[in-house]
Structure 1
Amino acid sequence: MILVTGATGHVGGAVLRGLSALGHEVAGLARDAGAAQRRLPAGATLRIGDYENAAGLEKAFAGIDALVLISSDGDADAIMRHHANAIIAARAAGVRHITFTSIVDIGETSPFYYAPAYRDAERRLAACGVPSTILRCGLYSDFILDTWLGPATEELALPAGQGLVAPVSRDDVAAAIAAVVAKPDKSRTLYTITGNQPLGFEAIAALYADVTGQPLRYRPCSPADYLASASARLEEPWPEAFATLCASIAEGRYASTPSDFITLTGKPPESFRDFVVRVALGMQTDG
Structure 2
Amino acid sequence: MSDRATSPTDSVILVTGATGTTGSRVVSRLAGLGHAVRAAGRRPVAPGDTRAVRFDWYDSATHADALRGADRMYLIPPIGEPDPAAVMLPFLRQARTGGVRRAVLLSSSAIPAGGPAVGQVHSLVAELFDEWAVLRPSWFMQNFTGQQSHADSIRTEGAIMSATGEGRIGFIDADDIAAVAVRALTDPSAPNTDLVMTGPEALNYDAVAAVISEVTGRPVSHRPLTYEQMRDRLATGMPEEFAALLAGLDRAISEGSENRVTDTVERLTGRPARSFRAYAESAMR
TM category (shorter chain) comes to 0.7 to 0.9
Q: Structure 1 residue 264: deviation in Å?
A: 1.3
Structure 1 SS opposite 2:116: helix
CA distance in 1, matches of 2:175, 2:119: 24
TM-score (norm 2): 0.84
Contact residue 149 and residue 208 of structure 1 kept, 8 A: no
1:58 Cα deviation (Å)?
A: 3.9
Instruction: Give the corresponding residue for 2:140.
Output: 140
Whether 2:261 is the aligned partner of 1:252: answer no
The answer to whether 1:128 aligns with 2:128 is yes
Write out the 4+ residue segments of structure 1 that deviate beyond 6 Å after TM superposition: none
Distance of 1:260 and 1:64 partners within structure 2: 27
Residue 47 (str. 1) matches residue 56 (str. 2): no
Which residue type is aligned with residue 94 of structure 2?
A
1:31 Cα deviation from its structure 2 partner: 2.9
SS at 1:199 equivalent: coil
Paired residue for 1:15, among 2, 11, 26?
26
CA distance in 1, matches of 2:270, 2:239: 40
Listed as ranges, the matches of 1:73-222 within 5 Å are 73-77=79-83, 79-107=84-112, 116-145=116-145, 146-152=148-154, 153-222=157-226
The question of whether the paired residues in 2 share the 8 Å contact of 1:195 and 1:270 is answered with yes
CA separation of 1:130 and 1:85: change in aligned 2, threshold 3 A = farther
Structure 1 unaligned spans of 5+: 110-114, 282-287
Decide whether the 8 Å contact of 1:70 with 1:101 is kept in 2.
yes
Shift in Å, 1:116: 0.9
Partner deviation per Cα, 1:115-170 (whole Å, 9 max, x = no partner)? 51111001111222442111111100111443225523344342111110011122
Given the superposition, is the C-alpha separation of residues 108 and 174 from structure 1 closer, same or farther in structure 2, using an over 3 Å criterion?
A: closer
**Residues paired across the two proteins, number:** 269
Farther-moved stretch of structure 1 (144-153 vs 22-31): 144-153
Preserved contact between residue 3 and residue 61 of structure 1 (Cα < 8 Å): yes
Secondary structure of 2:153's aligned partner: coil
Q: Aligned equivalents of 2:98 and 2:269: distance in 1?
A: 31
Name which of structure 1's ranges 152-161 and 194-203 shifts more when overlaid on structure 2.
Answer: 152-161
**Percent identity of paired positions between Structure 1 and Structure 2:** 26
For the residue of structure 1 that corresponds to 2:88, the secondary structure is helix
Q: Distance in 2 between matches of 1:132 and 1:51?
A: 20
In 1, the alpha carbon distance for the partners of 2:98 and 2:57 equals 15
Alpha-carbon offset, residue 220 of structure 1: 2.7
TM superposition shift of 1:98? 0.7
Structure 1 pair 235–5 and aligned structure 2 pair: CA distance change class (3 A): closer
Q: Does the C-alpha gap of structure 1 residues 39 and 30 become closer, same or farther in structure 2, counting only changes over 3 Å? A: farther
Aligned partners of 1:13 and 1:39 also within 8 Å: no
Tell me if structure 2 keeps the 8 A contact 1:69–1:101. yes
Structure 2 CA distance, aligned partners of 1:36 and 1:226?
A: 33
SS at 2:100 equivalent: coil
Distance in 2 (alpha carbons) for counterparts of 1:117 and 1:212: 36
Which one has a larger percent helix, Structure 1 or Structure 2? Answer: 1
Letter in 2 for 1:49: F
Report the equivalent of 2:37.
26
**Does 2:283 correspond to 1:267?**
no
TM-score (norm 1): 0.83
Q: Sort the Cα spacing of 1:82 and 1:280 in 2 relative to 1 into closer, same or farther, 3 A.
A: farther
For the residue of structure 1 that corresponds to 2:271, the secondary structure is coil
**Partner Cα distance (1:99, 1:230) in 2:** 28
Q: 5+ unaligned residues in a row in structure 2: which ranges?
A: 1-11
Q: Which residue of 1 aligns with 2:3?
A: none
Aligned residue for 2:92, secondary structure, equals helix
Whether contact under 8 Å (1:95, 1:130) holds in the other structure is: no
